[in-house]
Amino acid sequence: MKTAIVTGATSGIGEATTRALVGAGWQVIATGRRADRLAPLAAELGERVHTAAFDIRDAAALDVALDALPDRFSGIDLLVNNAGLALGTVPAQAAKLDDWRTMIDTNVTALVTVTHRLLPGLIERKGAIVNLASVAGTYPYTGGNVYGGTKAFVRQLTLNLRADLHGTGVRVSSIEPGMVETEFTLVRTGGDQSASDTLYAGSDPMTAEDIAATILWIAALPPHLNVNTLEIMPVSQSFAGFQVARTKQ
């Protein structure tokens, strides 16, 4: 049986991906800070799920969790680097530095730490890495500032890993979703449920299950195929244009 580790499995895309992988016959190491979310997931999905509750920014806690894996979960074939967040919707000049640091620590530093730690085993097993980037890493928008920067990093890291892992058989993919209705906006707005509800209302956004199905599709492709990048949006979301400031008298 193949083994995956899904970071950020306590909600949204990571939780749906855990369900999808288990449904397709995988066993999954499900991680996230909220142990009270992981416990019911494990109870629901049974012995094919092993949970590890820790803050992904804490490299020592990551080591403890990986060192404590039961034998049957210790050979990891698929790393889904999903844990991540956006904080704030305001322009750079109004943003909080702490929010920027939290996004970089989580979306960039923690992601590379997990990846670095698991790479030797993934090479040994000719495994795969699926990284959650975002359309925000390709297209700028007001308030996207550091969040978009972290996701551009994830996209480019994916491509550079492809180059470095040439000939190893390891597959690496960057998934770049647009709007997915999860707890993402609740987190981004500091818990503003009505802002979150308003954003998604009437828009027919993507669901966490849509992205989970995409990840599962990538994971199930024949070993000679690599999806480098995959940008995916709801039909209801598209592009606005450039803006022009008319400040000249």
**55 is a contact residue toward ligand NDP (CB under 6 A):** yes
Residue closer to ligand NDP, measured from CB, 13 or 122: 13
Cα 159 off chain centre by: 16
How many residues sit in the footprint of ligand NDP (CB under 6 A)?
A: 29
- Residue 129 or 133 having the CB closest to ligand 8X3: 133
How far apart are the C-alpha atoms of 236 and 239, rounded to whole Å? Answer: 10
Rounded to an integer, what distance in angstroms lies between the CA atom of residue 43 and that of residue 25? 17
187 belongs to the binding site for ligand NDP (CB under 6 A)? yes
- 183/209 with CB nearer ligand NDP: 183
Token pair 């998604």: residue:
200
Q: Which of 180, 212, 218, 219 forms a contact with ligand NDP (CB under 6 A)?
A: 180
Q: Which of 79, 179, 212, 218 binds ligand 8X3 (CB under 6 A)?
A: 179
Report the site for ligand 8X3 in 133-172 (rule: CB under 6 A). 134-136, 144
Tokens in use for 189? 């707005």
Classified as helix, coil or strand, 175 is strand
Are the CB atoms for 183 and 12 separated by under 8 Å? yes
Nearest alpha carbon to residue 180 among 13, 20, 30, 11: 13
Residue range at the interface with ligand NDP (CB under 6 A); choices 181-189, 191-199, 217-225, 238-246: 181-189
Residues 104, 91: Cα–Cα separation, whole Å: 17
Enter the tokens of residue 164.
């470095």
Q: Is 57 in the site for ligand NDP (CB under 6 A)?
A: yes
Footprint of ligand NDP on this chain (CB under 6 A)? 8-14, 32-34, 37, 55-57, 82-85, 106, 132, 134, 177, 179-180, 182-184, 187, 208
